[in-house]
Amino acid sequence: MLVIDFGGQYSQLIARRVREARVYSELVSHRIGPDEIRARNPLALVLSGGPASVYAEGAPQMDARNLELGIPTLGICYGMQLMARQLGGTVESNDVSEYGKAEAALGESPLFHDLPPEQTVWMSHRDSVTAAPPGARVTASSPSTPIAAFEDAGRGLYGVQFHPEVVHTPHGQDMLENFLYDVAGAPPVWTPAAVIEEQVERIRAQVGKEKVICGLSGGVDSAVAALLVHKAVGDQLTCVFVDHGLLRHNEAEQVVETFGGHFRVPLVHVRAQERFLTRLSGVTDPEAKRMIVGEEFIRVFEEEAAGLGDVRFLVQGTLYSDVIESGGGEGGVAAKIKSHHNVGGLPDDMEMELVEPLRLLFKDEVRRVGEELGLPQRMVWRQPFPGPGLAIRIVGDVTLERLEILRAADAILQEEIRRAGLYRDLWQSFAVLPAIRSVGVQGDERTYAYPIVIRAVTSEDAMTADWARIPYDVLETISSRIINEVQGVNRVALDLSSKPPATIEWE
Ligand code: XMP
């Protein structure tokens, strides 16, 4: 099914919710016309929310013929208002906007089948539909929004003013499922197993008998992409794991064991810690560290690729959110490859064609596919980890000694966070090694050693973040274990800053 995007803050969320109902969905621009819709042959359309008013200057419009295709369509918020206007109803601006929970009374409708007639819904709008289009029936109301839903079942057109896609509408997912299954007749068949089957076929068709190379970073995206390609073309794939020595405790071993050992994927493990540390020696500027790690990574990768002979394809773990952000979701413009400082962002000038088996998946879907493929839970649920690794968590000079201190402290922190059952609730949790030392006393001796800073945040997307309220007893265990077990550390501090104004990382 297609989610027609009017720029609403929840458009991506709608697509994800539909996929959670196991119906495949894609986000498309509101500029899409009837011919392209027909060509794509969707079972249903959803018109997303959008800006405050359909009357605002430059408010996104849609070809009204899209509503005449006989395809079941659900308009949400702005989508409902636009629909109302195009079908001859009335939309009026309110003096104040309605934002937050509302109690709605629901009438007879296939959307609300088997759901409580009175329930809480989430509103976020300024305009309202004040007269339903001719032939349409009002099916829900709330105290401040008399027309909270309407439908013209004969034409398969449905509108809701509230947002069924957000969790604050407790039965919202049920409504979406009623729409998908009962109104649109879309079967819930889009499962991780189905995704794997489809991608395997696509990859085989694309790659044929050619050789493929894939860079592994230890992260879930490259791991799942590699496993999909390996499932499709077996040993035509070689994975290259550039081990820059800046990963956390045991991570490199796990990549090697999982891929080389368990899955028997041809794996080149490049132990390059010395090379990276040599280049980082004496470098303290964070951006310079990023550049060095990024450049060196590409250099090592290229050297290894050259040694493999005639490789025609390169696997890239591009996600659907990258495709949408780079405009690729808007009517099929080719996606830009992310080429920021991220390690694993591979050279632009490599003359290889890309294989992108995750291009249509959101992050949580990648994880579910990873689970289905048998990837260890630890990898599937790994918190985000920056490409330049521990180099940007060691403030100042990156030396082997300081790297070992941070790695040991971080391992304790990870262990205790997991033991407390907090790992998955936190966006990131890690140790930072600042470039200062302070005085302490251990036994009878005065010490002059490094502090370790505990950084743990909650976040939705890393754009903003809040410091995590970790229980005192967990903090106590982390602190005393680090001070007792890690040589060279005599103090543990907790970072209580949100983002903004701080960033998540220290560099
Ligand atoms: P900041 O520190 O900017 O981080 O709040 C936001 C998110 O991005 C990650 N991060 C990076 N990821 N290469 C990466 O691949 C980098 O150079 C880099 N710097 C920050 C960070 O871990 C957080 O999730």
Q: What is the CATH number of the domain that holds 25?
A: 3.40.50.880
Options 20, 26, 151, 165, the catalytic residue: 165
Residue 393 maps to a domain: no
* Best CA proximity match to 453, nearest among 400, 399, 496, 390: 496
ipTM of the complex: 0.98
The region that residue 488 occupies, defined by phi over 0 for left and psi between -120 and 50 for alpha, beta otherwise, is left
Domain match, 489 and 420 both: yes
Residue 416 maps to a domain: yes
Q: Are 118 and 148 in contact (CB under 8 A)?
A: no
pLDDT digits (tens, 9 = 90+) for 451-500: 999 999 999 889 999 999 999 999 999 999 999 999 999 999 999 999 99
pLDDT digits (tens, 9 = 90+) for 218-233: 999 999 999 999 999 9
pTM confidence score? 0.88
pLDDT digits (tens, 9 = 90+) for 298-345: 999 999 999 999 999 999 999 998 888 776 544 332 223 333 334 455
Q: Is 165 noted as a catalytic residue in this protein?
A: yes
Domain match, 25 and 132 both: yes
Domain match, 28 and 165 both: yes
3-state secondary structure (DSSP) of residue 393: coil
Mean pLDDT of 209-222: 95
CATH of the domain at 358: 3.40.50.620
Chain-centre distance for alpha carbon 401: 35
383/51: higher pLDDT: 383
Domain match, 212 and 254 both: yes
Separation CA 211–CA 189 (nearest Å):
32
Separation CA 119–CA 131 (nearest Å):
23
Look at residue 447 and tell me whether its pLDDT is greater than 50: yes
With a 6 Å cutoff on the Cβ, whether 338 touches ligand 1 is: no
pLDDT for residue 341: 36
Residue 82 maps to a domain: yes
DSSP-derived pairing of the beta strands 2-5 and 45-47: parallel
Residue 366 maps to a domain: yes
Q: Are 384 and 423 in contact (CB under 8 A)?
A: no
pLDDT for residue 14: 96
Separation CA 16–CA 332 (nearest Å):
19
pLDDT for residue 331: 36
User: End of a domain among 122, 148, 183?
Assistant: 183
Residue 386 maps to a domain: no
Residue 501 maps to a domain: no
* Best CA proximity match to 220, nearest among 243, 191, 244, 251: 251
Return the residue matching tokens 């659900």. 74
Look at residue 92 and tell me whether its pLDDT is greater than 70: yes
Distance of CA 418 from the midpoint of ligand 1 (Å): 22
Domain match, 286 and 343 both: yes
Domain match, 329 and 415 both: no
Look at residue 347 and tell me whether its pLDDT is greater than 90: no
Q: Is 244 noted as a catalytic residue in this protein?
A: no
Per-residue confidence at 95, pLDDT binned at 50, 70, 90?
Answer: confident
Residue 149 maps to a domain: yes
| Phi, psi of 468, deg, nearest 5 | -80, 140
Q: Average per-residue pLDDT in the chain?
A: 93
Least confident of 113-122, 143-152, 328-337, 360-369: 328-337
Domain match, 196 and 109 both: no
Options 30, 125, 163, 171, the catalytic residue: 163
For residue 181, what are its two tokens? Answer: 């299954």
Domain match, 356 and 209 both: yes
Domain match, 211 and 140 both: no
pLDDT for residue 345: 56
Q: Which residues contact 16 (CB under 8 A, 6 or more apart)?
A: 362, 364
Report the number of distinct structural domains present in the chain: 3
Look at residue 96 and tell me whether its pLDDT is greater than 90: no
Mean pLDDT of 122-142: 96
With a 6 Å cutoff on the Cβ, whether 387 touches ligand 1 is: yes
Separation CA 277–CA 399 (nearest Å):
7
Domain match, 133 and 218 both: no
Options 20, 77, 304, 416, the catalytic residue: 77
Residue 105 maps to a domain: yes
Q: Which of 285, 293, 504, 506 to mutate to test the pocket of ligand 1 (most atoms within 8 A of CB)?
A: 504
Which residue is closest in CA terms to ligand 1's atom 21?
Answer: 386
Domain match, 202 and 325 both: yes
Q: Which residues contact 68 (CB under 8 A, 6 or more apart)?
A: 34
Domain match, 375 and 486 both: no
Question: Is 480 marked as a binding-site residue?
Answer: no
Structural domain of 322: 192-380
